[in-house]
Amino acid sequence: DTGVSQDPRHKITKRGQNVTFRCDPISEHNRLYWYRQTLGQGPEFLTYFQNEAQLEKSRLLSDRFSAERPKGSFSTLEIQRTEQGDSAMYLCASSPPTQYAHEAFFGQGTRLTVV
């Protein structure tokens, strides 16, 4: 499968624990996005990488959230000291290095439940 892959697909954690999610984009894609989606809402932009550079970070991303893309390939999203409000679907998407905007391809997401 050469699509965007995310791991794990599901994560249940206790409040206060740290969690880390991984995203492997489509190999030739240099742009990588993280979104968070709660029930009944569209995906909310969290952060964006172009190669290894994190170009933008949403105000939604508190200090407990950090994302990396160390070699411009896979990316990780870490949430420290999880809270119940962090429960959501975390979606990763990638898009190719075209001059003009191109569609984003999504992974199947990581569903986080904080208990």
Partner 1 sequence: RKEVEQDPGPFNVPEGATVAFNCTYSNSASQSFFWYRQDCRKEPKLLMSVYSSGNEDGRFTAQLNRASQYISLLIRDSKLSDSATYLCVVNMPYSSASKIIFGSGTRLSIRP
| Neighbouring C-alpha atoms within 13 Å toward the C-beta of 95 | 12
Q: Report the nearest approach of partner 1 to the CB of residue 100 (Å).
A: 6
Count of helices and strands (H, E) across the chain: 0, 11
Piece in contact with partner 1 (CB under 8 A), picked from 11-19, 37-45, 68-76, 78-86: 37-45
What 8-state DSSP symbol labels residue 4?
-
* Cα–Cα distance measured from residue 63 to residue 80, given in angstroms and rounded to the nearest whole number: 9
Nearer to partner 1 (CB atom), residue 2 or residue 14:
2
Piece in contact with partner 1 (CB under 8 A), picked from 8-16, 20-28, 68-76, 99-107: 99-107
Q: Report the nearest approach of partner 1 to the CB of residue 16 (Å).
A: 27
Work out whether 95 is an interface residue with partner 1 (CB under 8 A): yes
What 8-state DSSP symbol labels residue 49?
E
Which 45-84 residues touch partner 1, going by CB under 8 A?
45, 48, 50, 55-56
Work out whether 2 is an interface residue with partner 1 (CB under 8 A): no
Single residue of 1, 28, 63, 103 touching partner 1 by CB under 8 A: 103
Give the helix/strand (H/E) hosting 5: strand 5-7
CA 37 to chain centre: 11
